[in-house]
Chains A and B, each alone.
Chain A
Amino acid sequence: QQQVKQSPQSLIVQKGGISIINCAYENTAFDYFPWYQQFPGKGPALLIAIRPDVSEKKEGRFTISFNKSAKQFSLHIMDSQPGDSATYFCAAGYNFNKFYFGSGTKLNVKP
């Protein structure tokens, strides 16, 4: 059973637009929800993360919205830039770093 489901698989956004990536999880025991950004040939890098006791977290142009009752969370990238073009993964975890990752969203921001 897939613990974390991510959509869309790919996303094309114009420069300056808003990119939105959605994730849903199954296990209510998860207590940490990070988003990772991965460029080709590199390992994933932490972008932003949220705990379930908070409904929203903002860091610069990146915002996580969290809906505990719906078991859903999303990443919003405001004023998207071509340099944001990468693959984004949501994840959920508990108990010493055993994280479950979504299948990834390949974002292409067109100039």
Chain B
Amino acid sequence: DAGVTQSPTHLIKTRGQHVTLRCSPISGHKSVSWYQQVLGQGPQFIFQYYEKEERGRGNFPDRFSARQFPNYSSELNVNALLLGDSALYLCASSLQTLRTGPGANVLTFGAGSRLTVL
């Protein structure tokens, strides 16, 4: 059974460009979350989507946006790239249902997309 898949695995951009990162969740998982992991730090929450609706947003500027498609895959878009956006971008999926209580869902992470901004 395939895990969470992310593409591309590595990419290099220059300041001011935009980037689109893609994520396919585990089959049957309806929730996708995005995290940014700067080198040497823990992941930071960016977005969470469930059933194609945004359910949570972290403390990131409006240059960051995301969406979830009918097949539950997701895209993270970052505009006007800055040097500080260089990081590993992690996607995680979970079997989220509205009837389960908070904390009841396990996040399964993909291997990430390593973004370098020059």
Contact = CB atoms under 8 A, between A and B. Distances in A.
Interface of A: 4, 6, 31-32, 34, 36, 41-46, 49, 51, 89, 91, 93-104
A46 B43 CA distance: 13
B105 interface: yes
A46 B106 contact: yes
Interface stretch (B11-19, B48-56, B61-69, B75-83): B48-56
A94 B42 contact: no
A89 B31 contact: no
Contacts of B103: 31-32, 51, 93-94
Given A31-B102, A96-B102, 9 more contacts: A43-B4, A43-B90, A44-B43, A89-B42, A98-B33, A98-B56, A101-B43, A103-B42, A104-B41
Interface of B is mostly: loop
B42 A97 contact: no
Contacts of B92: 43, 97
Interface of B: 4, 31, 33, 35, 40-45, 48, 50, 55-56, 58, 90, 92, 94, 96, 101-112
A57 to B, nearest CB: 13
Contact of B41 (A31, A44, A98, A103): A103
A1 to B, nearest CB: 11
A51 B102 CA distance: 10
A98 B104 CA distance: 12
For B104, B107, B110, the residue with the greatest tally of chain A CB atoms inside 10 Å of its CB is B107
A104 to B, nearest CB: 5
Nearest to B31: A97
Contacts of B111: 41-43
A45 B90 CA distance: 12
